[in-house]
């Protein structure tokens, strides 16, 4: 019996594939994790985790610990021995029954795997029942070494509009993570990368290029059915996190004056609210090399 999900894409994903001119095909999205994914999650010092907050808004965070803090006791269970900090705006929403999207990413190798499911237990750990498991290519992932540091918990600073330090952080970023939902029972969190400056900031509107990826269109497909999204911008050298929530729009046909080298289309986020979390991640990364794929892309 195959582990592959027979029809893994919802209506929004299929619509996005049609917009992009991508033919339907069999893809390796599974009901359960293969052994290599289980081992991979177990080796990581951090994981991206997303769920839904009040009124269905996506929200995301980074959970960190010593290598081995994530365990997969079986092919459909992930146990994460870390809870969101009480100061984390995402913390109240990680509760039993909540949908969860997980992204495991090893910045030292560029490897990444995804797992989506439902949170079944919250105690000393988050226990996730995995419903979808799949890998992603290493495109646009910049190679970084990582080192642990002591925790430095501080209160989150809420903003209704981006201030200048937030705009500067976004304008200089080479990596972001985006959480979206199908508006029902699935949450997804994904990686986006480019040259520093690949995100355009105009007031409270961000424009993000969509470079060629795995052609699943999980993120844009979710935006088709529910335009709300959450973005995380990590400060790799300082451990700060910038969390944004807002509504998105997809620009399928790019105007000539907005074409960016390497981008197949664009999407925008109109910021509704934001939080700055100083020292939120007890890890520090050092850039070793930019992904070779960004050599064929531009900046704003």
Q: What is the pLDDT of residues 85-137, one digit of tens each?
A: 999 999 999 999 999 999 999 999 999 999 999 999 999 999 999 999 999 88
Mean pLDDT of the chain: 95
84's tokens: 């969101």
Classify residue 296: in a domain, yes or no. no
Could you tell me if 181 and 206 are in contact, meaning their C-beta atoms sit under 8 angstroms apart? no
Cα 296 from Cα 142, distance rounded (Å):
14
pTM of the predicted structure, to 2 decimals = 0.96
Q: What number of other Cβ atoms are within 10 A of residue 227's Cβ?
A: 18
Could you tell me if 222 and 15 are in contact, meaning their C-beta atoms sit under 8 angstroms apart? no
C-alpha dihedral, 124 to 77 to 80 to 119, nearest 10°: -70
68's tokens: 């081995």
Cα 60 from Cα 83, distance rounded (Å):
13
Cα 184 from Cα 226, distance rounded (Å):
9
Phi, psi values for residue 126, rounded to 5° = -95, 125
**In the prediction, which pLDDT does 220 show?**
97
Provide the CATH number for the domain around residue 260: 2.30.110.10
**In the prediction, which pLDDT does 215 show?**
85
Residue 93 is part of which domain span? 11-290
CA–chain centroid gap for 287, Å, is 19
Phi, psi values for residue 39, rounded to 5° = -65, -40
pLDDT above 80 (res 23): no
Q: What is the pLDDT of residues 5-21, one digit of tens each?
A: 988 999 999 999 999 88
Say whether 170 sits in a helix, a strand or coil.
helix
Classify residue 33: in a domain, yes or no. yes
Classify residue 6: in a domain, yes or no. no
Confidence of residue 219 (pLDDT cuts 50, 70, 90): very high
pLDDT above 70 (res 1): no
2's tokens: 């195959």
Q: Quote the number of domains for the chain.
A: 1
**In the prediction, which pLDDT does 26 show?**
72
Partners of 79 in beta bridges: 71, 127
Share of the chain above pLDDT 70, in %: 99
pLDDT above 90 (res 300): no
Q: What number of other Cβ atoms are within 10 A of residue 188's Cβ?
A: 24
Q: What is the pLDDT of residues 164-211, one digit of tens each?
A: 999 999 999 999 999 999 998 899 999 999 999 999 999 999 999 999
Classify residue 299: in a domain, yes or no. no
**In the prediction, which pLDDT does 13 show?**
93
E-only strand ranges, 53-142: 58-64, 70-74, 77-80, 99-106, 111-122, 126-136
Confidence of residue 24 (pLDDT cuts 50, 70, 90): low
> Angle CA(87)–CA(90)–CA(96) in degrees, nearest 5?
115
**In the prediction, which pLDDT does 277 show?**
97
If you average pLDDT over residues 133-161, what whole number do you get?
Answer: 92
> What 8-state DSSP symbol labels residue 81?
-
Ranges 53-62, 198-207, 250-259: which has the least confidence? 250-259
**In the prediction, which pLDDT does 198 show?**
97
């Amino acid at each position: 019996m195959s582990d592959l999900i027979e029809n893994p894409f919802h209506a929004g994903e299929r619509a996005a594939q049609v917009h992009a001119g991508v033919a339907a095909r069999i893809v390796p999205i599974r009901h359960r994790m293969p052994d290599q994914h289980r081992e991979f999650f177990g080796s990581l010092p951090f994981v991206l985790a997303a769920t839904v907050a009040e009124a269905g808004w996506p929200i995301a965070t980074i959970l960190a610990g010593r290598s081995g803090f994530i365990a997969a006791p079986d092919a459909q269970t992930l146990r994460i021995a870390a809870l969101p900090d009480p100061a984390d705006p995402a913390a109240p929403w990680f509760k039993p029954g909540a949908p969860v999207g997980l992204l495991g990413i090893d910045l030292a190798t560029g490897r990444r795997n995804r797992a989506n499911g439902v949170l079944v237990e919250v105690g000393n750990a988050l226990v996730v029942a995995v419903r979808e498991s799949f890998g992603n290519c290493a495109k646009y992932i910049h190679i970084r070494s990582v080192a642990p540091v002591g925790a430095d918990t501080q209160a989150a600073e809420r903003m209704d509009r981006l201030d200048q330090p937030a705009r500067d952080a976004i304008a200089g970023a080479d990596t972001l993570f985006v959480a979206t939902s199908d508006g029902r029972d699935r949450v997804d969190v994904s990686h986006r990368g480019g040259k520093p400056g690949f995100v355009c900031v105009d007031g409270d509107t961000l424009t993000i290029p969509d470079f060629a990826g795995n052609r699943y269109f999980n993120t844009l497909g979710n935006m088709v059915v529910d335009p709300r999204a959450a973005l995380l911008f990590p400060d790799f050298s300082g451990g700060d996190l910038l969390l944004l929530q807002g509504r998105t729009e997809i620009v399928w046909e790019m105007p000539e004056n907005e074409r960016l080298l390497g981008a197949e289309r664009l999407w925008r986020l109109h910021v509704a609210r934001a939080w700055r979390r100083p020292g939120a991640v007890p890890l520090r990364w050092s850039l070793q090399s930019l992904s070779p794929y960004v050599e064929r892309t531009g900046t704003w």
